[in-house]
Amino acid sequence: MHAMGEPPEPSTSGFRKVIHIDMDAFYASVEQRDDPSLRGRPVAVGGAAARGVVAAASYEARTFGVRSAMPSTRAARLCPELVFVPPRFDVYRAVSRQIHAVFRDYTPLVEPLSLDEAYLDVTADLRGIGSATRIAEIIRQRIRAETGLTASAGVSYNKFLAKLASDQNKPDGLCVIRPGEGADFVAGLPVARFHGIGPRGAERMEALGIRTGADLRGVELAVLRKHFGAQADYLFRAARGIDLRSVEPDRPRKSVGGERTFDRDLSSGTALREALDKITEIVWARIVKAGVHGRTVTLKLKTSDFQAITRARSFARPVADQDEFARAGRELLDALLPLPQPIRLMGLTLSGLDGASEGGDVRSDGDAEPAAQGQGVLPF
C-alpha cells in the first residue's frame, strides 16, 4: 500500500532497467590522456582570462574546490597551481561518438544529456547478457579499453535513481538501486544531490527545514506547491524515489539557457547588469559542456507584476565565444533600460543550435518498446 495522495510505483513486472553513464571529468580526462605532463596535476578546461569560466575540472582540481561553471579567476585563487587548458571540442565530440557507439551495441534506447552522459533503457535483453548490472559493467570496461577513459554508472528502475546512483561512487564507480530500495536511498541524501535542485533551491529548502530526502518526504504536496510551484510534483515524487519518465532516444536540443528568480525585485541598471553577468557565466558553461554552437541570443525578463518581456538577437554565424554572448545579452538589456517595473526573474538563452543532437551526432535506431514481445526481460 502507499500513503493517501502518494502516486504508486509501477508493479514489479513493469519496472524498467535504466543505466545512467557519466564520464569522469570528461574534458579534463581527455586532456590528461592526450598530454602525459598533465596527469596527476590540477587541470581546468576553459579560459584563464578575467571573464573565463571553468568548463570542466580534473579530480585533482576538485580537491581544492574548483568546479565547472566557476569563474576562472576564482578557480585560480582556490588553486594557484591550476593548469588552464583551452577546450578542444572536435576531440571531445569524436570521443563522445566512440562512447555512444558502445551504448548502441546494447540498446537503441539511448537518451544523450550531453557529450559525456546518457541514459540507456536496457529492459529488453537484446544480447542475452543476463542482467542490467552486467551490461553496465561491460560498457564501462569497453569505454576504458577503447578510449582510455573511465566512466561511472548507475543502474536502477527509473532515470532519477539511475542518475543519483551514477554519482554515488565516482570516479570509476558503479552503484545499483534495486526495486524496493529507492525510497530509503533517497531518504538519506541531501536534497542538493537531487537533479534539478540547484544551490539556490537547496538554500530555499534549508530555510524551510528541508535538508534531506526524508525531510522532503515529510512535506505535504500542498505546501510544496505553495513554495515551489510547478516543481512541486517532481519534488513530491522524487522524495519517494518515483520517476515515470521514459528514456527518449535522440532527443533534440533546441536551446541552452538558464534563468534566476531573485530574492528581491531588481530595478537599477547596475543591479540588473550584475545579475546578467552571473547568469551569462553559468549559461556559457552549460553551452561549453553541451558542445553546441548557436546563432540566437534571447533575454527573458519577468516584472514584479508577472509580465514577461523577451528580446532576441540573431547572428549570421554562430556566436563566437563568451565575450560575444555576454555582449549580446548586455545590449539587449541596455535597450530596455530604464524598465517600467522592477524585475523578479531574468534568463538568457542560446538557440538556433548547430548539431542539435544533445549527444554529439547520436542517431536513433528506432522507437522499440522497452520489453518487446519475445525478448528476455533483464533482472537487475
Condensed to tens digits (0 to 9), the pLDDT of residues 16-39 reads 999 999 999 999 999 999 999 999
Q: Are residues 279 and 342 in the same domain?
A: yes
Q: Are residues 294 and 349 in the same domain?
A: yes
Instruction: Write out the three cell numbers for 43.
Output: 587541470
Statement: residue 371 has pLDDT above 60: no
What pLDDT was estimated at residue 333?
95
Contact 253, 324 (CB under 8 A): no
What pLDDT was estimated at residue 2?
41
Q: Are residues 272 and 206 in the same domain?
A: no
Q: Are residues 298 and 338 in the same domain?
A: yes
Condensed to tens digits (0 to 9), the pLDDT of residues 68-113 reads 878 888 999 999 999 999 989 889 989 999 999 999 999 999 999 8
* Final residue belonging to a domain, choices 176, 209, 238: 238
Which of 158-172, 251-265, 362-376 is predicted with the least confidence, judged by mean pLDDT?
A: 362-376
Q: Are residues 344 and 272 in the same domain?
A: yes
Q: Are residues 234 and 259 in the same domain?
A: no
Q: Are residues 329 and 273 in the same domain?
A: yes
- Counting residues of the chain whose pLDDT is more than 70, the rounded percentage is 88
Q: Which residue in this structure is represented by grid cell 538519506? A: 188
Tell me if 263 is assigned to a ligand binding site: no
Statement: residue 358 has pLDDT above 60: no
Q: Are residues 316 and 261 in the same domain?
A: yes
What pLDDT was estimated at residue 362?
28
What pLDDT was estimated at residue 251?
64
* Final residue belonging to a domain, choices 194, 211, 238: 238
What residues form DSSP beta bridges with 19?
Answer: 120, 155
Q: Are residues 266 and 225 in the same domain?
A: no
Sign of the torsion angle spanned by Cα atoms 179, 183, 187, 193: positive
Q: Are residues 212 and 284 in the same domain?
A: no
State the amino acid at position 297 in one-letter form: V
Report the distance separating Cα 157 and Cα 9, nearest Å. Answer: 10
CATH number of the CATH domain containing 233: 1.10.150.20
What pLDDT was estimated at residue 355?
52
Domain membership flag for residue 56: no
Q: What are phi and psi of 153, to 5 degrees?
A: -135, 145
| Alpha-carbon 134 to chain mean position | 25
Q: How many residues does the chain have?
A: 380
Per DSSP, 357 falls in state: B
Q: Are residues 299 and 264 in the same domain?
A: yes
Contacts of 226 (CB under 8 A, 6+ apart): none
Q: Are residues 270 and 309 in the same domain?
A: yes
Condensed to tens digits (0 to 9), the pLDDT of residues 298-318 reads 999 998 887 889 999 999 999
* Mean confidence (pLDDT) of the chain: 86
Pick the residue with more confidence: 99 or 8?
99
CATH number of the CATH domain containing 276: 3.30.1490.100
Domain membership flag for residue 45: no
Domain membership flag for residue 55: no
Question: Residue 304's domain spans which residues?
Answer: 255-354
Q: Which residue in this structure is represented by grid cell 536551446? A: 255
| Alpha-carbon 163 to chain mean position | 10
Among all residues, which ones are annotated catalytic? 117
| Alpha-carbon 334 to chain mean position | 31
Domain membership flag for residue 142: no
Domain membership flag for residue 280: yes
Contacts of 132 (CB under 8 A, 6+ apart): 17, 18, 19, 122, 155, 378, 379, 380
Domain membership flag for residue 206: yes
Domain membership flag for residue 117: no
Pick the residue with more confidence: 47 or 36?
36
What pLDDT was estimated at residue 113?
87
Report the distance separating Cα 92 and Cα 56, nearest Å. Answer: 12
Which of the four pLDDT bands, split at 50, 70 and 90, describes residue 354?
A: confident
Which of the four pLDDT bands, split at 50, 70 and 90, describes residue 342?
A: very high
Domain membership flag for residue 263: yes
What pLDDT was estimated at residue 340?
87
How many domains does one find in the chain? 2
Confidence (pTM): 0.72
Tell me if 22 is assigned to a ligand binding site: yes
Residue 274 neighbours by CB distance under 10 Å = 12
- DSSP per position, 124-166: B-TT----HHHHHHHHHHHHHHHHS--EEEEEESSHHHHHHHH
